[in-house]
Amino acid sequence: MTSPKTGTLFERFFSRTTRVLLEEYATPAYQGYQLEAWVFDDEAERRATQAAFKAAGISARLRSAYKPLVHFFLEEFSWESLQSLVIEYPLLEDSPRRFLLEAYPLAAMLPQDVTLRWESVEAISATPARYGIQVQRTSSGREMYTVEAPNRHHQDHVGETQYSPCGWLRLISPQGEVTETAIETDYEALFQAAMTALSSTRWQAAPSYFEELNFTVHLPCGDRQLAWDDEYLSLAEALHEELYFSTLEYFQRHAGLALGDRRSQPGQIVPEVLTQGDVPYLSVSLRPLDTTQPRRSAVTLETAQQAVGEEQITQLLGELGGQVLQTTTRAGRSVEARYRKGSDRAVMISAGQHANETSGVVGALRAARQLSRQSQAHFVISPLENPDGYALQGRLVATQPRHMHHAARYTAFGNDLQNQSLGGHFEHAIREQALAVSGAGLHINLHGYPAHEWTRPLNGYVPRGFDMWTIPKGFFLILRYQPGWEGAARSLIDAVIQDLTQVPGLVEFNATQIALFETHAGDLAFPVLNGFPYLMMEDAQQLTPLMLITEYPDETLSGNAFVKAHNAQEATVISAYNAFQSLSL
């Protein structure tokens, strides 16, 4: 079939796995049997299914196929008088800490006086992977548990070999005979159907292939908030991530590009995964670009507890004054910047490149307002470089406010604006204009990353190409420099980090997150200065001699946690601006 410009490519309801199990096994033929199943469902649905099996005379236990060790401690384990734990985890040769990541954030969920030790054991590929647990309580002797984590080897949508969590069924007859096998759950079937819809469509030869490719999903499975920081267990969020990045990868391969190539321009990919209904549902459709603007409440910038709206951003830029710089997006939205000329060395300040990273937008505006009070200040402020992505983020958080929504990360072309060709007329042009009018030597580029765990459970669990960002590790800095600028870069990073140590609570915040990161993901493998991880690297291709990139774990944050995020962003801009003025260049 040939892809139309608009219309439905696929639509289907899926039989819910728990109901299928009941129809097949809650019968007189299986009375006296024991049934164990691992499915992608929330605890309420699994418990209701167990009760229905019990009423039919069958002993059943339904467990979560997603993060089974964490669910075991939440649902089956007694925390009473717990003293110590030793947990053995399966060791994979090509991903040694994969199952430690799946156990995140267990180490932070334990009572503070409980000791925990992790030990690796070789994974046995012929059976479900297993965690072994040794428990010591103050009130009794040692206890032993085994927690199984069914996985399957498979070829993914781009032909790569994966070892991924999967559905599993085990039946034990009254005579003790055991039968077990992997099963395709509704969750897995829905995702596979989405990928098949892509591969069965005859796409045009050259991008962009569509305006909006929409996946509308109804997933009857609630999110579960954990008693640690911003962490949630969310099958809906994980499916959004799977649909978005898998589709992006499919079109990267379709265009003959390497996986992860950010120049790919398939169009805007929009998974809308709603936790509603009683039966899983998927619709795949092609739509025109959405040019509407989501409404966001006005905020007081210094105390903003949520993302600032685009209308207010435009107003705040107008109040700053200065020369107007402007370009447009694919959807026709305006990308605006302001150039304030002064006697200082010029600095470019930008945010919103990845539009689901919203604390930088507030931090940039706050810093620009502070700098504008100085008569000698010389800067360009571009607080929202990707308004198409920002509008999509606003649209998606209206229904799922606690999700990361990486579909809003890139432009409506589907590419990272950093990788747009020079001399274009879209988002990247605002940086080129900023450099042309200011001659800036420093670009402060404010970013964020997930404030809670980022997973792709149907394709190897760890997000491909983003391994270092899968769990939070504190406020992180990256400094890129052109050849010959390494000394200045070192002086700048030293000065900024020294100033950041004075931001209330930030060093302690980093220490907590880094400790948990290293428990589940291993040593940071990056230098850490005064409690701040950072990277420095030479980059001959960037526009300015120096570019300082911030990475605050802000995706999904709101309330006071969001205030702390843009406090750190603003402090970084002011520190870097001031330090740049006195650098020996």
Average pLDDT for 346-362: 98
Residue 139: what pLDDT? 86
Is the pLDDT at 124 greater than 60? The verdict is yes
- pLDDT at 2 > cutoff 60: no
Q: Compute how many other C-beta atoms are within 10 angstroms of the C-beta atom of residue 539.
A: 12
Of 311-315, 424-428, 551-555, least confident by mean pLDDT is: 424-428
Residues 6+ apart with CB under 8 A from 223: 232, 233, 234, 236, 237, 275, 402
- The per-residue pLDDT for 542 is 94
What's the pLDDT at 559? 97
Which pLDDT score, from 0 to 100, does residue 538 have?
Answer: 98
**pLDDT tens-digit readout, 390-414:** 999 999 999 999 999 999 999 999 9
Task: Give the pLDDT score at 122.
Answer: 84
End-to-end CA distance of the chain: 60
In this predicted structure, the answer to whether residue 508 has a pLDDT above a threshold of 70 is yes
Report how far residue 143's alpha carbon sits from residue 129's, in angstroms, rounded to the nearest whole number: 20
Count the helices and strands in the chain (H runs, E runs). 14, 25
Fill in the DSSP letter of residue 406. G
pLDDT score of 126: 62
Output the average pLDDT for the chain.
Answer: 96
Task: State residue 585's pLDDT score.
Answer: 84
Q: What pLDDT score does 141 carry?
A: 82
Lowest-confidence region among 30-34, 116-120, 140-144: 140-144
Can you read off the two tokens belonging to residue 328?
């447009």
Lowest mean pLDDT among 106-110, 137-141, 252-256, 382-386: 137-141
CA dist 122 → 26, 94, 103, 129, 162 (Å):
37, 12, 17, 9, 17
**Is there a contact between 302 and 366 (Cβ–Cβ < 8 Å)?**
yes
What is the structure's pLDDT at 1?
41
Q: Give mean pLDDT, residues 136-158.
A: 94
- The pLDDT of 540-547, averaged and rounded, is 96
pLDDT of res. 66: 98
**Span 87-110, mean pLDDT?**
94
Q: With b meaning 16 or more CB within 10 Å and e meaning fewer, what string describes 439-464?
A: ebbbbbbbbbbbbbbbbbbbbbbbbb
Q: Round to whole Å and give the CA distance between 522 and 532.
A: 17
Instruction: Assess whether pLDDT exceeds 90 at residue 127.
Output: no
**Percentage of residues in the chain having pLDDT higher than 70:** 99
If DSSP codes are grouped into helix, strand and coil, which group holds residue 476? strand
Give the Cα separation of 188 and 194 in Å (integer): 10
Sheet order of strands, 528-529 included:
323-328, 334-340, 379-382, 347-351, 442-450, 546-555, 476-481, 532-538, 528-529
Q: CA quadruple 483, 487, 490, 496: dihedral positive or negative? A: negative
* Alpha carbon distance 376, 473 (integer Å): 37
Average pLDDT over residues 100-128: 90
pLDDT over 80 at 340, yes or no:
yes
Higher pLDDT, 326 or 112: 326
CA torsion 312-317-321-322 (nearest 10°) is -160
pLDDT band at 27 (very low <50, low <70, confident <90, very high): very high
pLDDT at 213 over 60: yes
Rounded average pLDDT over 9-18: 98
Q: Are 195 and 147 in contact (CB under 8 A)?
A: no
Q: Return the sign of the alpha-carbon dihedral for residues 229, 272, 310, 578.
A: positive
Mean pLDDT of the region 304-317: 97
pLDDT at 4: 66
Tokens of 348: 């470019």
Percent pLDDT > 90 in the chain is 93
